[in-house]
Structure 1
Amino acid sequence: MHAALAWEHGVLGELNFPVAEDADIVVGTNWRRRSRPLAFAASLVLLIGLVWQVGLPVMRKQAWVSQPVIGTVKRSSGGQLSVSGIGVRLAVGDSIRKGEYELTGGLSQLVFENKVEILIEAPARFRIDSAQRLALFEGRLSAVVPPEGFGITVVTPNAEVVDLGTEFGVEVLAAEYSEIHVFKGEVEVKPREHSIEAVRLLTDQATRLDDNSGSPSGIAIAPDRFLRQLNEPRLLYSKRIHDLKPAAYYRMRPSDDGLTLIDVAGGDYHGHIELGSMKRSPFAPGRHGNALRLPGPASEVHAIVPDYPKATNHVLSVVAWVRADSRSRWASIAKNWAPDKEGQFHFGLLHDQGGLEVQISQPDGRSVQAMDPESFPLGEWQHVAFVADGAQLRLYRNGMQVGSVPYPGLAPPDLKPLGIGAKPAGVDQKRVRGPSEFWHGRIDELAIFNHAIDAKTIRQLFETEFRDGFRVDEAQLREVGLVNGRGRPGQRADRRRR
């Protein structure tokens, strides 16, 4: 209105209108003045948050370090052990203190000041309160308790396990159950619900407590689920294998990195373990000490030896202890064989029939096969072997010959890799194929010889019991220097042990 009148009377130029930019400047200046305290407060909150985020782990670490030492990390096999909440990774020789821990991979063996040894298998979460008390939230452990550790207690979500001089295992599946297995001695299991009566377990007894009822229920003991040692025991069986001078020998001792399959024959023809989709350690209790754990085609766990000494004189022998949990198609024990090229031998189960079989490749490229007419037993350790003696290919199971076929000779050693628990990769019809024909079960004490082993020796190997947990004839032990004439460890064995 004023603008219209001014225009009409010719005085528009004399009017002063406020400039919009100046108004914005005024408003902006006032806003900045008012927002400075808010910005300062926000920055202060952010700074406090950063200090808290960085400083809290430092304070927790200082608190953990200030705790007295309870024990040490004795051994590890691919173990990824850390102190929860502070980012401290522990290696062999590091101290163990009061606190919460997490094992995300492999195996870790702890030894406490009271000489109690705890072997923990990942994945696991646990808390150590003292050398006499720890809590297992999730995972699997085995304990060896000497007299100095009598009374050590393992707490689970629904029970307290009190040692009374024993070797035992505990497994906790979070929000489902706890299991206690006694391998030797005695433990008392006290349910967390005080109205439920405690139960005492003796050697070869086990119980389960589910999270719903909390009441113990007797179950079959399962020693094959709990790894109890990381060292391979000194055995008469392994002594006899060494005496036969193997070209390669895999005792399945857990390696430090958890991924190396160690050749103990002396040639260092080590293998590499492919874990596939498996989260657990590839090592498990075996027929003699430890074994290679192979869950089958679903996980594709296997080992590959890039190269090993091949037979050059047309004779070859392979022996092993194996356990099959199912008969997967063409399941592999050990194969120097690929999709595009036949190597020297193909040892495992026959297609879908599931009997033990072996194939060897001849110089003309054709193969011959010996097989067991019976299906391979499931869930039982079996001693398996084959011998190509230059004229006859013989197949053995549990010391008995189960198949035989003549052959004119052995193919030259043109294929390098050896697959253990699977057939190695190769090219099939111009397509690259990965490892296949996976074993489902376990393989232990695999030995390869570039000479023929006679039937009597195969039988003796099968009948040889191992020292830990089984009776062994003392005359046999004296023969190899493992005991002296009074039935105690001899000096020869002691010298070798050092």
Structure 2
Amino acid sequence: KLTARVGAVEGKGSSSKVQGSRSTSLTTSHQPLATNSNPQSLIPNPLFAIRTPTAIVTDLGTEFGVEVSEEGTTTSHVFRGSVKVLVLDADGNLPSPSGRGAGGEGSGREVILGENESVRVQHDKDAEDRLVVVRGPADTASFVRAGQLAQVVEERRRLGPLRRWQTFSEELRKRDDLLAYYDFQPDEKDRTVLRNRAATGAALDGRIENAPWVSGRFPDKHALQFGRPGSGVRVNIPVECKQLTVAAWVKLDRLPTAAEGLAGLLMSDGWSRNDSFTGRIAWQMRYDGRIFFTLDNWNDNTISWSVLDNARVLDHWRHLAVVYVYDPEASRVAFYLDGEHVGEGDMTALAHPTMAATIGPATIGAWDSRGAVADANDNRRLHGAIDEMMIFSAALSPEEIRRLFERGVASAVEKGAATATEKKGEQPMNGP
């Protein structure tokens, strides 16, 4: 049997799972080896031969490893039994019948390796048209052994979503219009800080209050659990935005009760009846499952637009997004669920004047009312988890919102489990 670091093969009596970087670098006595990256292969078949750009390695009844570099250097290591290594010529061809000389010095040379022996066939440093055989220890830890295959497959299955998300996350951070980005991954040095990964940096970091870390929407992704008294993430985003997009991955344990009324996703502190600070926002969910976006314009604090009328969002990760565009004549709000546009409204039709949005001091997962309302739910706690939130100083298009959802989606999302209907009209509230 063969444990290899490149290639993939299916042949008589063979089974394999292999990866590597050279799709045409190997052939076998059965058929070509197809390769992609990070090789792993197990091929139980005696007298099995594998051909690389510089050598042919023949199984004499053994377990051995083969690695081929980008330059074609072949490294062979025997774990058990023995193998025969035949050196090819400098062009990767079989040696001539005359043996050494016609194919370059070393061409046609055969080396028999026993247990725990290694050899490397490479181009001579002083003459690229000549191959040389170098004995020495191989990095055996880098080979995937027979007993490790199941573990490797499971590890890659488990880490696949996380790695895809990490690639997306790194790309996202480069956007110039990304005002704040909270990836909800713990900071190793201080787990009470929710790091802002956008270019705006530590100034917009959040402070976690009484919200424990929990599992996120796929393995090794984290989230914060909200709902305890005093739970939330305190942030301060003192930037005026004529265009604003907020998106988050949310999993609800339950909706607020009718007595509780509302649950905050991202809520600016206080409300205008207490001070002159206007333009702050309230992004929240009501007891009937409808989503609200409210803009505090000082003259009228009941500007809200509701589009989601479906409570079947519990226990599933959902991608929620809201887009606000300020225009003196027609300020608009659009709502999205799992990448789909589900409704929008004209805020200027509800109250005047509208204005740019300024989040300012705010809480994720709750609300600091600062006495703006005198009721039992002046903190508007969210009962559920959030594992990612991004804030843009731009109005993302429906296509961009869709891409955010698709790049962040994982198997935890049950697409289509919730539906949304557009509800037009003002929704009066006491405060935001």
TM-score (norm 1): 0.43
Higher relative contact order (CA 8 A, sep 6+): 2
More strand per residue: 1
More helix per residue: 1
TM-score (norm 2): 0.49
Larger radius of gyration: 1
